[in-house]
Each structure stands twice: as C-alpha cells, then as structure tokens.
Amino acid sequence: MRNTNSQFYNKFFSANRISYFILSCFLLGNFVACQPKEEQAASLARETQLARVIEIQKKYRPPKVKLNFAELAESEALLQNLSSVPDSFRAENQYLLGRYYKSIKDKKKASSYYYEATEYVKDSIRKEREYTYFDWAVKIFYELEDYGNLEVVNKRYKTLLEKEKAKNYEPLASVYTYEENAYQKQANHEAALKSNALRIEMFNLAGGNQKRNIPSALISKAESLFKLKRKEEAFAILDTLITKEASLSANDKRQLYGNYGTYLFFEKEYEAALAYYLKGLSYTHAQKGGSAKKNLAASYGNIAGGYIELGDYKKASLYLDSLEQLDINTIDNTDLADSYFKYRLIVAYKTGQSIDVLVSELDTVIAFQKNLRNNQLGQELLALEKTYNEKEILQAKNQASELNRVRMQSSIIALVVIFILSLLGAFYFYRQRKKEFEQEGLLMQQRLLRSQMSPHFIFNFLYATQNQIRENPNVAIQHLTKFSRLLRLILENSMLNYVQLDKELESLKKYLDLQRVRFPEKFSYEIILENMEEEEFIFIPPMLLQPIVENCIEHGFAKITYAGKITLRMTKQAKYISCTVEDNGIGLQQSNQQQDKQSSAMCLISDFLKKTVKQEIKIIDKASVPNAGTGVEVKLLIPYKLTED
C-alpha cells in the first residue's frame, strides 16, 4: 500500500536495521558502563528530536496551513530513528504527508499515507483527530474509484465506531453514505438501498443539523430505485420533496430538479425534462465551492441534449458554447467531454454546416484527447522528478541523523563497525534502488507506448469518415461515436499498469472494427478464449496485442487479393495467459518489412515480456512450416493478476 516515498523509508531503514541491531549488541557492555553524562546526552538528544517532531506537527495541524515537504520528511526521518514513540505521532505524520500529496493533486500517494494513518488506530477511536484520518482515507479512495480499499477502510471504521459506548452517529452516517455511493458506482443498487436506509437512520439519531442531510439521502434513494426499474417509487419520493421545496437547501434543489430531469429524459419526455433541467440550473448558478464548475458544466450539457432531442439546434448550440467557455479541458469528467463533442457533431450536421466545420470539430476531439494524454504524461514525468528530489532530501536528513548518532558513541571500535555496516547497507540500498528505477523506467516506456495511437491509422480513418459524411451521414456519426469511445478506452487503459480483460478486449475489438471501416471486406477476425470468460476478473497489461494485430493489417494484408483473417487465441494457464495471433497474409518473406527489424512498439513489448515472464515474443513465418499455408503466427505469454492492485 505504501507509495514510492514511503517505500524509500522502509527500504532504507530495513537495510540499516540489521546494522543497528548488531551494533547495539556489540556495544551493550559499553552502554552498561556509560557515565551519567553520556546517558544524559543521549536522553537530551532524544528529547530534542521528539520536540522537533512535535513542533513540526503542531505547525501544520491547522487545515489551511501550506505544507512544506522538507519539514514533513525531516519529521518522518526523526520518527524512524526514535523508539518507544506513541503511535499518535506516527499517525499524525502519515496524515500530514497525505494532506501534502493531496494539495499537489497526487491522490494516489495521498491515499497511501491516509491509509497508513488509519492503521495506527488499533482497538478503538480515542481522539477526535482519528475520525479525520478515516474520513479522508474513505473520501480519497472514493474519488479514486478504488472501491476495494474503500470497503476495507470503511468496514474497519464502522467496526471501531460500533464499539463505542456512546455512539457517534455523525461519522456512522458518513460511513453509510460512502458505502451507498460505492454500491451505486458498481451498479449494486439493492445493496445501495440497504446502506441508504441505515444512512437515513443515523441522520435521524444524530438529530440537529444532521437531519438537513436527509433530503439528499432521499434523492440518492430515488436514483437506486429508478435504476432498479422501480420508477413509480422513485418519482413519488421526488414529488414529495418538491412539495417541501421551501425547506430544502439550494444544493438539494439542484440535485432534485437535475435528477428529475434526467429520469424524464430517459423516459423520452424531453420537454418536461428540459423544464426541470432549466429549473435546476437556477440553483446550480447559486452554488459555490470546488464542485460548482463541474455541476454547472453538467447542467449545460443536459440542457443541450434536451434541446437536440426537441430539434432546437440553435438553443442547443448556445448552451454548448456556454459549456465550452467553462474550459472543458479542465473539468474531470470524461463522460461529459464525450457528450459535448458528440452534441457538437450532431448540431453541425443537423444545421447543414459545411464539411470543413465537421472536420474542424473532429480536430477539436483529437486535440482534446491529445491534451489529456499530454497532461497525463506531464504528471508522470513530474512525479518521477519529484521522487528523485525527495530521495535527495531524505538522504540528507538521514546523513545528519547518522552524524548525531556517531557523535554519541565513545568507542573507536563502534565507529569502525558503524562505518563498515553503513557501507554495506548503502551498497545494498544502491542496488535495490537501481533495480527499482530500471523497473520504473520500463513502466514509463510502457505508458508512453500505451498513450500513443498510430497517427497513420487516425489520419486514414478520418479521411474515410470524411467521405462517409458526404455519402452516408448517419453511418459516419456511428463511426465517430465508436472512434471517440476507442480514444477514451485507450486513454483510460494507458493510465493503469493492469486493466480488466474485458476492457482490453473491448478496446481491441473497436480498433479492429474501425480498421474494417478503412478496408471493407478486406479481412475478418475471431477471438477465442479457452479456460476463461471475457467477463472474468482477470487483469492484464494493456496495449500488448494492438501493435501485433496492426502489423497483420498494415503489412500482412497489404498485397493480398483474397479475404484476410486474424485469429486471436488466449488460453489461461497457472501463471500466464498463452496468446497466439495468427493471420493468413503474405508472410515475412514477401513483406516489405525487414525481417530482422521490428517496430519500436514490438521491441518495447518484447523487452517488457522478457523481464516479466522471462520469454520473448516468438514470430513464425508459416511459409517455413510444411502445410501451414501463408501468413505469420505470433506467440507470447501475458502475465495476469486476479486484482488490479
């Protein structure tokens, strides 16, 4: 669970812990005979270090104080050197480091530190501050959509809260709220309704201001009921809330009318839906805070969709313009971005705008995806640079700590032992870090590869779609929707080291289907799964197969006069998935490729597999195998996990 910086602490101190133990045993006789002055010096040094930790933690305890990483790292290094320190100090430092990484928008690292802070809360919650640790850990895992860790922390939080003699209903309500939201995100609406009932019960038991949260809980309940096709119950709840509109907050009204409009939209009652959307918009304008911009953008998108369904493309365009002015590139909502570009294309087509306008809209889609990809790569590179900087800071702090330790020793033999063991520890640490940086470099190369998509393919697809727009606009819009979904899948998958098998196969199928748009009747494909199902919880590295099937199409089928076929066979084994990609193209001998020169993508994939499964990709020219026909057969082993973590 620890992030890179936290791993640094563990590895450095675990590497030196042995040396500290040996040194302690060796000098035991010396310590027994120490003079009172030396004991006083050691005690004073410990008190000074602990006082420094308390000073740093007190300084950054207020929530709005800007955090300084160097001081937090110093505090962490001091705590690692100190023994018999209460867990509350260690928990607070983990929490402050979590706050720091959240402030720089590195939610993944923040979640690791928040989680570690909760781990120091053992049998019961004794301090008000410990509620904060759990609240932020649960919140950050929900924002990351990491529902596995969310469930783990939430269950433990709930267990600790239920142990309390005097029940604290407010945090229990928070537990059930996040539990319900997580179930809704996972489409488990029956479980969400059970959590919702407990959530409302906690609000009632807490009383006071907590009862103001009940309308929001009822709106959430209506959402689960609607998803379960219990529409009459859902609308009944919302109608009841409308009759009590005067007692609702502006945010409750925004949710109420926005959700009501969405349900009516799904029921194809577009005029009624639009009326509710517009009423909800008036309350959205009054909203303030971090989510105000995101909610306003969603309202504009919903209203534009309603006007499009009613055929009022002029008004739809006005609201799309308003959405664009909010700078859609800065809004963390890929579904909204997809809807925006789709609506733009529909309005352009329905209003009879020229082909140049449509192509310009396509360019905007590609630019948006490229911007997201560049932002992602930039964040990864900054994170890598930050890791190096943090390493240097921590090394400096530990060197200072070592010097203080050496000064307290009175024996020359002890100094020699410290020097030798520190040297061995440093050598071990250096080797470990070198290995880690090699692995991180490989993963970075893999992410760079995944975030790319063949410019040649994109250009040819858009050219083919441009012709379709002139000849068959409806088919063209379908192709553009598939293309937008493919770009989104590639972007989502490129952010992860492992993705679920069904997502990877969906991305591959959409890629092959779009290639068939370029080459109608040129080829077909078949995907065969053995010993596993497509929906099974199997996670594999993304974008390993796309470059292989791309070679089949671009080179294997380049000069054939018959129908090509690609067969992908995946067999689940004990540790790996055995994968074979076979085509009936012209083979390596007649290909324009040089046999010994693979693409950079294939080289990176081969290098990655060599280091993970200890085997390279095998490429077989079927012409060299008796009675095998023509084409190429590619065999590889793909590592898999049963969880994405």
462/608 Cα distance (integer angstroms): 32
pLDDT in tens, 287-325: 776 677 888 888 888 998 889 899 998 888 898 888 878
DSSP assignments along 232-295, one per residue: HHHHHHHHHHHHTGGGS-HHHHHHHHHHHHHHHHHTT-HHHHHHHHHHHHHHHHT--STTHHHH
Tally of helices (H runs) and strands (E runs) in the chain = 25, 7
Q: Of 380 and 69, which is predicted with more confidence?
A: 69
- Looking at residue 370, what is its pLDDT? 53
CB–CB of 133/116 below 8 Å? no
Residue with tokens 């063991």: 421
- Looking at residue 576, what is its pLDDT? 93
Average pLDDT value for the chain: 78
371/268 Cα distance (integer angstroms): 35
Q: Which range has the worst mean pLDDT, 428-437, 555-564, 605-614?
A: 428-437
Neighbours of 249 (CB within 10 A): 13
Q: Which range has the worst mean pLDDT, 1-5, 135-139, 343-347, 564-568?
A: 1-5
- Looking at residue 440, what is its pLDDT? 59
Q: Does residue 171 have a pLDDT over 60?
A: yes
- The first and second tokens of residue 326, run together, are 């909010």
497/505 Cα distance (integer angstroms): 16
**Cα atoms in the 13 Å half-sphere on the side-chain side of 614:** 1
**Structure confidence at residue 439 as a pLDDT band (50, 70, 90):** low
- DSSP 8-state symbol, 556: I
pLDDT in tens, 353-374: 765 655 565 556 555 555 544 5
What stretch of H or E contains 499? Answer: strand 499-500
- Looking at residue 282, what is its pLDDT? 86
pLDDT in tens, 21-49: 444 444 344 443 444 566 777 778 888 88
Neighbours of 541 (CB within 10 A): 22
Q: CA-CA-CA-CA torsion for 593, 599, 605, 608, nearest 10 degrees? A: 120
β-strand partners of 581: 568, 634
**Amino acid present at 55:** E
| pLDDT > 90 fraction of the chain, expressed in percent and rounded | 25
79/33 Cα distance (integer angstroms): 27
**Structure confidence at residue 259 as a pLDDT band (50, 70, 90):** very high
56/76 Cα distance (integer angstroms): 10
Stretch 111-117: mean pLDDT:
92
CA nearest 108: which of 63, 146, 65?
A: 146
Q: Of 467 and 558, which is predicted with more confidence?
A: 558
**Structure confidence at residue 442 as a pLDDT band (50, 70, 90):** low
pLDDT in tens, 503-534: 889 889 988 888 887 777 789 999 999 999 98
- DSSP 8-state symbol, 27: T
- Rounded to 10 deg, the angle between the 455-471 and 501-518 helix axes is 60
pLDDT in tens, 568-616: 999 999 889 999 999 998 888 665 544 444 466 677 788 878 888 888 8
Largest Cα separation within the chain, whole Å, is 96
**Structure confidence at residue 333 as a pLDDT band (50, 70, 90):** low
- Looking at residue 377, what is its pLDDT? 45
CA-to-CA separations, 221 to 65, 188, 193, 312, 484, in angstroms, rounded:
38, 13, 6, 33, 32
Which domains are seen in the chain, by residue range?
249-328 (1.25.40.10), 455-639 (3.30.565.10)
- Looking at residue 125, what is its pLDDT? 85
CB–CB of 585/564 below 8 Å? yes
Distance of CA 220 to the CA centre of its chain: 25
Mark residue 631 as left, alpha or beta (left: phi above 0; alpha: psi -120 to 50; beta: remaining).
Answer: left
